[in-house]
């Protein structure tokens, strides 16, 4: 069976992009309390999606975000702010 690399969303000054997850190293394995998990069974594989609700539940969300859709960008920024606050709170506990 062929291995599969997931995609990560990256927000930079020039926009929102996707990148293969194999290019990154996990440095903190904690999962956010805001993230959701979606598991879909397919004929040859099981797809796992982990992320904030819109990322997991809306099939068109990532393409809209990468295309610069304003609603998708606002949603992304709102979740990013919550995740940043959560990470800083968690770091103070460690």
Tens of pLDDT along 53-85? 999 999 899 889 888 899 999 999 999 999 989
Rounded to two decimals, the pTM is 0.69
Tens of pLDDT along 12-52? 677 666 677 777 777 777 889 999 988 888 777 777 888 89
Predicted local distance difference test score (pLDDT) of residue 57: 93
Task: Report the C-alpha gap between 88 and 35 in whole angstroms.
Answer: 17
Predicted local distance difference test score (pLDDT) of residue 30: 82
Answer yes or no: are the C-beta atoms of 22 and 5 closer than 8 Å. yes
């Amino acid at each position: 069976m062929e291995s599969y690399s997931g995609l990560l969303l990256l927000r930079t000054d020039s926009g929102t992009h996707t990148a293969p997850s194999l290019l990154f190293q996990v440095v903190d394995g904690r999962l956010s309390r805001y993230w959701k998990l979606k598991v879909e069974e397919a004929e040859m594989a099981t797809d796992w999606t982990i992320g904030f609700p819109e990322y997991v539940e809306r099939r068109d969300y990532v393409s809209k975000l990468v295309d610069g859709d304003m609603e998708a960008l606002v949603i992304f920024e709102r979740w990013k702010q919550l995740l940043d606050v959560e990470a800083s709170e968690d770091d103070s506990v460690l």
